[in-house]
Amino acid sequence: MKKVAKFFNKCSLGGKLSILFLIFLMLMAVFGTIFARHSAFIPSGSAFTAPNSEHFLGTDDLGIDLWAQLCEGAKLSLTIGICSALLSGIAGSFIGIICGYYGGVLDKIVMRISDILIAIPSLPLMIVMGVFFGAAIRNIILVLAIFSWTGPARIARSKVISLKEEKFIKIAESYGGGIFYLTFKHFLPAVFPIVMVSFIRLINRGIVSEASLSFLGLGDPTAKSWGLILNHAISFKAIYFTDFWKWWLVGPFAAITLTVLSIAILARDTEKFLNVKL
């Protein structure tokens, strides 16, 4: 707790604001969906109601409350971002540690695989995979993780390669410390801060990819994601000639922009705080 407070104090003004915004977003995702006044899926008023006391942010073309949809979108974006980053961060760290420690043929094969994954243009393949895996959230997370583990893996690998020549590791080995002991006692604590920064960046990547896919109409069509709301709003033919955009378009637009910016600023401040350079 003390460490968190210290981190908060050390953050720049932008960093503090983004932490507050992200906390607000999480509250929105958790409580906004539980204690919602209106459903995010069923019409609860007439179409295109301007924001009023009943509908906080107005309604869309079907009369569905937009604030409720934004809360659902926040839940979806955060889930996808955090889960995919966790999955690829954890998997990547362990793969990197094992490759860096053992080296040899295994290391060569894994690095070749990651070379190939990096060379494949990710967005077009993700579009294709998004259709092939189906549109469920779980599948989007999996596809993202498959593409993102290479970053943390490379970082962890190079750290372990330089670490394993250190004397204290050599001594731990000579006392019979195996890979498990070394990993949890020495490698993970050293790798953690640098992977942490890459983890925060991967959250952003997940959120942006999900928004892009659902903007193209490839996400889960029944889920209420920010990209999908934008997609509906843009493809509504009269959007440019009416006033509906003021509440229909601005909400998800601001949500995506602010979230992505906050996470980026948070990543920068974490990098400074932990004093790592990627």
Partner 1 sequence: MKTTTKKTLEYLLTLFVIITLNFFIPRIMPGDPFTFVSSEENSVNTVYSDEEVARLKEYYGLDKPLAEQYGNYLKNTIKGDFGYSIYFNDTVLNLIGGRIVYTLPIALASLVLSCVLGCLLGCVSAYHRNRFFDRSSYLLITVFSQIPSFIIGIFFLFTFAGKLGWFPLSGAMTIFATYDTPLAQIRDILHHAFLPVLTLTLAHIGEFYLLSRNSMISVLSKDYITTAKAKGLAKKRVLYVHALKNAVLPIITRLCMSLGTILGGAVLIENVFNYPGLGTMMRQAITYRDYTLIQGIFLFFAVSVLLMNALADILYRKLDPRVAQ
Positions in the binding site for partner 1 (CB under 8 A): 112, 115-116, 119-125, 127-129, 131-132, 134, 204, 208, 211-212, 215-218, 230, 234, 239-240, 245, 249, 253, 256-257, 260-261, 264-265, 268
The answer to whether residues 144 and 206 touch, using CB atoms and an 8 Å cutoff, is yes
Nearest approach in angstroms of CB 256 to partner 1 is 6
Residue type, 13: L
- Return the number of the residue (17 or 36) whose C-beta is nearest partner 1: 17
Q: Under a CB-based contact definition with an 8 Å cutoff, are residues 76 and 210 in contact? A: yes
Nearer to partner 1, 94 or 215 (CB): 215
CB 215, min distance to partner 1, A: 6
Q: How far apart are CA 67 and CA 34, in angstroms?
A: 13
Instruction: Kindly state the smallest distance separating residue 181's Cβ from partner 1, in Å.
Output: 36
DSSP single-letter state for residue 65: B
Alpha helices in 164-218 (DSSP H): 167-174, 179-182, 188-215
State both tokens at 216: 């193209």
Name which of 194 and 256 has its Cβ closer to partner 1: 256
Between 76 and 260, whose beta carbon lies closer to partner 1? 260
> Which residues, 6 or more positions from 35, have their beta carbon under 8 angstroms from its beta carbon?
none
Least CB distance to partner 1 at residue 144 (A): 14
User: What is the rounded CA–CA span in Å between residue 148 and residue 138?
Assistant: 15
CB of 65 to partner 1, least distance (A): 22
With a CB cutoff of 8 Å and minimum separation 6, the contacts of 18 are 261, 262, 263, 265, 266
**Minimum CB distance to partner 1 smaller for 39 or for 242:** 242
